[in-house]
Amino acid sequence: MDAGEVALRASNLLLGTAVGAGINQSMFVFPRWFESPPESLAEVRARSPAKFWVPLQLSSAVALASALALNRGDPGRRKLLTVALGFYVATWAVTAAYFAPEIIRLSKADGTLPPSEIAKRGKRWSNLSWGRQLTMVAAWLAAGAALGRRRRTFSLRRSGW
């Protein structure tokens, strides 16, 4: 097994882990965060989700970028990995632009926002997060499709040049 295959398998494992953890949090953790704010948001402050997500996302990014770089000679894999990376970058962008800043604002809103406003914004945040989960699933599926393709490399010798 070459380095391109290892990077592709690692990216699939890490993306799958992120997808599973994200769906788990969306179903079981996020609803608890907003059931009786601001007290229920103490879990966000105490557990610091970034300690889990940042290393997982950075590892996923490195593995996916490595997989793309190491499989660039295979047009089919390159296309699928470019799609996967595009979905992945989109997820990062919306997380940086909205999701991370909003959860930080809500978790630190003790007394500055009425509980009803925190609950309303938290519910919107949680519902919108499903779109982020779907985008991660799309990235994972594209990377999985690349893994499912037999590796092919372009050769000038085989193409008749």
- Its domain, for residue 132, covers 3-148
pLDDT digits (tens, 9 = 90+) for 90-126: 999 999 999 999 998 998 877 789 999 999 999 999 9
The answer to the question of residue 154 being in a domain is: no
The answer to the question of residue 155 being in a domain is: no
Residues whose CB is less than 8 angstroms from the CB of residue 67 and which lie 6 or more positions away in sequence, other chains included: 4, 7, 8, 10, 11, 81, 143, 146
The answer to the question of residue 131 being in a domain is: yes
The answer to the question of residue 135 being in a domain is: yes
The answer to the question of residue 68 being in a domain is: yes
Query: Please, which pLDDT band fits residue 56 given cuts at 50, 70 and 90?
Result: very high
Whole-number pLDDT of residue 110: 72
Residue 148, number of CB atoms within 10 A of its CB? 10
For residues 62 and 15, is the Cβ–Cβ distance under 8 A? no
Count of structural domains within the chain = 1
For residues 14 and 6, is the Cβ–Cβ distance under 8 A? no
The answer to the question of residue 158 being in a domain is: no
Does the pTM surpass 0.75? The reply is: yes
pLDDT digits (tens, 9 = 90+) for 63-87: 999 999 999 999 999 999 999 999 9
The answer to the question of residue 157 being in a domain is: no
The answer to the question of residue 160 being in a domain is: no
Mean pLDDT, range 40-64, rounded to an integer: 90
